[in-house]
Amino acid sequence: MPAPGLFVYSNTATSIDGKINTVAQDRLALGSHEDKRVMHLLRAQADAILVGGNTFRRWGLPLVEDPRLVPEAPPRRRPVINAVLTRRGLLDMDRRRFPDPRVELLVLGGPQLDAAAHQRDLGAAVLRHDAPDVTWALSVLAARGCRRVLVEGGGDLIAQLLEAGLLDEIFLTLCPLVVGGVRAPTAVDGPGFPGAALPRLKLLDLRRVEDELFLRYAVAGSR
Ligand SMILES: NC(=O)c1ccc[n+]([C@@H]2O[C@H](COP(=O)([O-])OP(=O)(O)OC[C@H]3O[C@@H](n4cnc5c(N)ncnc54)[C@H](OP(=O)(O)O)[C@@H]3O)[C@@H](O)[C@H]2O)c1
């Protein structure tokens, strides 16, 4: 299990039908400028940002706050960890934006990952496990001294964290858009939960800015 002191929170922007991207998985932001500001504020509060390989590969940018958007955030004393849980590895992604001195890139996956190639092409350290999963990924981050881990999706990773009872809070921006499409990714994918065991949330905060709703939930019974 990860260290008890670890606080794990997710941030996702969804359409009103719960989608986080289109069926074509375009490279698009669903939220407004305010959603972007909130995203950067939540990043600024994290020691590490954890994502699934699909999200990281498609976005292709270092995950770090932009101080121009959150001038109130104290400057970092060390790079923020970008941790990517992946089976395939990241050697097939657009690598033009890496390495980046603002982030320490950790690639977390199985024994088949090529550590030397990730170091050479992305400046990334590879950590391997015979059966990589979210519990192990969080243990790695806790062992590196992280206290606050922001999960920026996608739906596959968030489903696994909920299933494992390892997500403490969910920040969700409900955007005034309809995406549709049965195969469009949603905020929580995976196999789904049985009706008798749906994760239950407690609303901690609700803020409206124009047509967007900023929701913050605690996950009941986490850990
Ligand atoms: N609107 C938003 O706020 C938001 C936020 C994030 C993402 N998105 C969108 O969501 C989509 C991605 O979501 P997603 O659910 O498809 O993917 P995801 O959760 O980002 O990533 C799934 C991937 O994570 C890796 N993975 C998951 N479990 C693993 C395990 N136990 N061991 C090793 N690797 C594991 C695999 O990566 P590999 O494929 O690398 O092997 C898997 O394909 C994209 O379209 C993205 O743009 C939207």
Q: Which atom of ligand 1 is nearest to the CA of 27?
A: 47
pLDDT at 223: 62
Please tell me the residue having the least CA distance from ligand 1 atom 13. Answer: 154
Give distance in angstroms: CA of 72 to centre of ligand 1: 30
- Determine whether 163 is exposed, middle or buried from the number of CB atoms within 10 Å of its CB (0-12, 13-18, 19+): middle
**Considering Cα of 85, then 89, then 90, then 93, what sign does the dihedral take?**
negative
Please tell me the residue having the least CA distance from ligand 1 atom 43. Answer: 54
Please tell me the residue having the least CA distance from ligand 1 atom 44. Answer: 55
> Distance between CA atoms of 12 and 186, rounded to whole angstroms?
10
pLDDT at 1: 63
Give exposure, 38-59, as e/b (b: 16+ Cβ within 10 Å).
bbbbbbbebbbbbbbbbbbbeb
- Structure tokens given for 94: 């657009």
Per-residue pLDDT of the chain in tens (223 residues, 90 and over written 9): 666 789 999 999 999 999 999 999 998 899 999 999 999 999 999 999 999 999 999 999 999 999 999 999 999 999 999 999 999 999 999 999 999 999 999 999 999 999 999 999 999 999 999 999 999 999 999 999 999 999 999 999 999 999 999 999 999 999 999 999 999 999 999 999 999 999 999 999 999 999 999 999 999 876 6
Say how many C-beta atoms besides its own lie within 10 A of residue 128's C-beta: 13
Residue-wise DSSP of 189-208? -TT---GGG---EEEEEEEE
Please tell me the residue having the least CA distance from ligand 1 atom 34. Answer: 86
What are the chain's domains?
Answer: 7-219 (3.40.430.10)
Q: Which atom of ligand 1 is nearest to the CA of 110?
A: 33
Give distance in angstroms: CA of 179 to centre of ligand 1: 18
Give distance in angstroms: CA of 51 to centre of ligand 1: 7
Q: Which atom of ligand 1 is nearest to the CA of 86?
A: 34
CB-based contacts of 63, cutoff 8 Å, min separation 6: 43, 49, 51, 56, 80, 82, 103, 152
> Distance between CA atoms of 161 and 163, rounded to whole angstroms?
5
pLDDT at 204: 98
Cα-based distances in Å from 166 to 17, 21, 54, 96? 25, 24, 20, 33
Q: Is 109 in the pocket of ligand 1 (CB under 6 A)?
A: yes
Say how many C-beta atoms besides its own lie within 10 A of residue 66's C-beta: 15
> Distance between CA atoms of 8 and 18, rounded to whole angstroms?
21
